[in-house]
Amino acid sequence: MILRARFADLRLLLAPRHLARLDEVEAVLRRHGLAFVRRSALRDGRWSGEPSVLLLDTLGELAGLYGGAVAAFVGGTLVPVGGHNVVEPARAGVAVLFGPHVENVRALAGRLEASAGGIQVRDAPELAERLGELLGDPARARRMGAAALGTFAASWVAEQSFRAARECLS
């Protein structure tokens, strides 16, 4: 709500990691008075931006939807659940924000932050502050997105996959 006051056309694409949690996520959105629509309920498959929250309830679409974003916050990083995929939004050329709990992706998050393609935040207030800075400075957000994309170029990803496979087979 803090950012919505400054950016009236702000939109949120919310993609729960586990679709089994959709009812729980809907309850939280309702409790906070946020109007939303499920992706599967869109008539022609297009989201006009109204309501301002799109709840992604389909599989396999998130990677393709990052391209329309100014920035992406990777969930599961503000709370100690290990962290989620920071590479997917980076590979879409989007500025990436993530919290302190990146246990499962620590090296990847570190690379992203070192390249200036990502920002680690301590908590929700800092997330709102940093996201507000990016929304207020689209050129900076684009530079960060380009840096994020460069961080995980196809050759780097292929090399890391090869090394992981080789370790498993050795």
Give the C-alpha separation, 27 to 45, whole Å: 23
Taking a C-beta distance cutoff of 8 angstroms, is the pair 140, 134 a contact? yes
Position 6 scores a pLDDT of: 93
What is the model's pLDDT at position 147?
Answer: 96
CB atoms within 10 A of CB 170: 5
Please give the class, per CATH, of domain 70-170: alpha beta
Domain boundaries defined on the chain:
1-59, 70-170
* pLDDT tens per residue, range 62-98: 988 998 899 999 988 999 987 888 999 999 999 999 9
What pLDDT does 135 receive? 97
pLDDT tens column, 90-146:
999 999 999 999 998 999 999 999 999 999 999 999 999 999 999 999 999 999 999
Q: Where are the alpha helices (DSSP H) in the chain?
A: 2-6, 22-31, 62-65, 87-91, 106-114, 124-136, 138-151, 154-169
Instruction: Indicate the pTM of the whole model.
Output: 0.86
